Structure 1
Amino acid sequence: MCVPGCEEAVLKRLSRRGLFKGFGAVTAAGFAATAVPGVAAAQAPARSFSKVVDLTHTMSPDFPTFFGVPGIEMQKQFDFKKDGFNLYWWRIIEHAGTHMDAPIHFSEAGATIDKIAADQLVAPLAVIDISAKAAADVDALVTVADIEAWEKAHGKLPDNCVVAMNSGWDKHVTTPKFMGKDAGGVLHFPGFSAEAAEFLIKNRTVRGMAVDSASLDHGPSKDFKVHYMWLPSGRFGLECVANLGAVPPVGATIVVGQPKVKDATGGPSRILALV
């Protein structure tokens, strides 16, 4: 328990730069056994940060899902006035709210979420902004050309990074536009192209992919090529990410607090960016 004011005092005493130097020392032995194939172990450089951006939507029964049913149901089992404490039972869909897709989600023998090593969950964050394109086309895609344009402006993607799509779609999360279902039942929202996913797998050392929409594949997809390409390669995906517009294109660090549940294919996650 921390009395009022103690958190601020502790933060003042802890040098952020020192914290990241310590993290670099901890990870100097290399990334763990479940590291992504082709993604080399690397000692984390010393980093500093001045703010924390929450990349997580608040989970509730109203959050939109592919299945059209609540992603979480909460039943209060104990009440403070009656029982002396509060406690809910949850019934939850793994892939609802801001969440992680583990490799097993779209593969026969990929890693389950509990097998993703902790040092894979802290990484450089590269944010590709396609918000103007998505404003004009609800089915917009991150393309190889978008990646190349980003690299022309900011340099080559950092090794072992997470590449995120900022389409501005998070602002629609409380409206029907977030899923974009039309009269024929087809969904409409932005995502990554299969060609971009293939380019990242073959030509860059990328650890994860993140989107601010409901899926790595854009809404109209029926074959989920990006999922079937990206996740079986041993990499993870992050969906329904929030506030990417508050993060710079390069220089931030992403921290993924995913649930460590045995054999799970994914799970709602608390995701932060250190800027």
Structure 2
Amino acid sequence: MSLWELHKNVTRVDLTHEIDDNSPYWGGMPEGAIELNTTILDFDSPYNLRIQRQTFPGQFGTHIDFPGHFHPDGALAKDFGIDYAVLPLVILDKHAEVAKNVDYAVSVADIEAYEAEYGPIPAGAFVAFRSDWHKRWPDGAALANADESGALHSPGWSKEAVSALHERGVVGIGHETLDTDPAVDCAAAGDLAIERHTLELGLIQLELLANLDQVPVHGALISIGWAKIAEANGLPVRAWATFEK
């Protein structure tokens, strides 16, 4: 069967949040970091067309982080070609656990439980953590989830789980939250230590994924599109899953 015929018999799910000037983002961004759709040439010009300028940080909306985001000598966008654009997608579905414990961290036991049911996670795969946190978008306060004392609570990965996936040869991880680390771990460490570890291992990661609840946990592909900006250490993406109907 040719790919022309194959593509007619698949389902696609958008894994990307829509963004605008009011979309939530990391609070450490300087003033003026985001200004979308600014008209710099309009229809009343001699050219009779409109050109817009887009101003945003690389880490905005559903986005990809390259190792250089946290490490001065880390790989950048130019180091990741189209072989990273379409990957086997593994989903670790822990949304029920997160509903009971918003500080939940994906563990090695979660990986082993997946493999006991579906077989080994293949080398070259992309592994996403389903928490259903995406349903809080675009409410920045709900994403941050501060308690009465101001402490933040959100799920994330454990360092051991990320290391175990790296040992299996995966090329990237993803999640629906703002950060890789559970918020309580970040507060305790005073650093995004698990994100730092992830990128130090040379993995890519996608943050603020959407709609993982609409994708089978086994057998899908993830497609990731990002602008070919050589020195970028992170960029907004359009990501989607493809699977058989």
> TM-score, normalising length from structure 1?
0.79
**SS of residue paired to 1:88:** strand
Whether the 8 Å contact between 1:61 and 1:71 is mirrored in structure 2 is no
Post-superposition shift, 1:65? 1.1
- Partner in structure 2 of residue 80 of structure 1: 43
Post-superposition shift, 1:84? 1.9
Whether the 8 Å contact between 1:49 and 1:274 is mirrored in structure 2 is no
Quick one: which of 70, 79, 103 aligns to 1:139?
Answer: 103
1:43-101 residue CA offsets vs partner (Å, 9 max, x unmatched): xxxxx951111100001122211126676312122333556222211111110100000
Post-superposition shift, 1:225? 2.2
Change over 3 Å in CA distance of 1:56–1:168 after alignment to 2? same
Quick one: which of 230, 234, 239 aligns to 2:207?
Answer: 239
- Partner in structure 2 of residue 67 of structure 1: 27
**SS of residue paired to 1:58:** coil
**SS of residue paired to 2:205:** strand
Quick one: which of 229, 232, 235 aligns to 2:197?
Answer: 229
Tell me the distance in 2 between the aligned counterparts of 1:157 and 1:71.
39
Asked if 1:178 is matched to 2:168, the reply is: no
Asked if 1:58 is matched to 2:18, the reply is: yes
Tell me the distance in 1 between the aligned counterparts of 2:23 and 2:105.
23
Quick one: which of 105, 110, 129 aligns to 2:69?
Answer: 105
Match for 1:228: what amino acid? Answer: R
Quick one: which of 5, 12, 29 aligns to 1:15?
Answer: 5
Quick one: which of 220, 223, 229 aligns to 1:252?
Answer: 220
Quick one: which of 130, 144, 155 aligns to 2:94?
Answer: 130
- Identify unmatched segments of 5+ residues in structure 2: none
- Partner in structure 2 of residue 158 of structure 1: 122
Whether the 8 Å contact between 1:71 and 1:97 is mirrored in structure 2 is no
Quick one: which of 136, 149, 157 aligns to 1:192?
Answer: 157
Tell me the distance in 1 between the aligned counterparts of 2:174 and 2:5.
29
Match for 2:106: what amino acid? Answer: V
Tell me the distance in 2 between the aligned counterparts of 1:168 and 1:127.
12
- Partner in structure 1 of residue 175 of structure 2: 211
C-alpha RMSD of matched pairs (Å)? 2.1
Post-superposition shift, 1:260? 1.6
Post-superposition shift, 1:103? 0.9
Whether the 8 Å contact between 1:114 and 1:259 is mirrored in structure 2 is no
Tell me the distance in 2 between the aligned counterparts of 1:207 and 1:101.
12
Match for 2:6: what amino acid? Answer: R
Match for 1:179: what amino acid? Answer: A
Post-superposition shift, 1:133? 1.1
Tell me the distance in 2 between the aligned counterparts of 1:162 and 1:77.
39
Asked if 1:115 is matched to 2:79, the reply is: yes
- Partner in structure 1 of residue 57 of structure 2: 93
**SS of residue paired to 1:255:** strand
Tell me the distance in 2 between the aligned counterparts of 1:87 and 1:184.
46
Tell me the distance in 2 between the aligned counterparts of 1:15 and 1:224.
45
Post-superposition shift, 1:185? 4.3
Match for 1:245: what amino acid? Answer: D
- Identify unmatched segments of 5+ residues in structure 1: 1-11, 18-47
**How many residue pairs were aligned?**
233
1:112-165 residue CA offsets vs partner (Å, 9 max, x unmatched): 112211112211000001101111111211111111111111111122100000
Match for 1:270: what amino acid? Answer: R
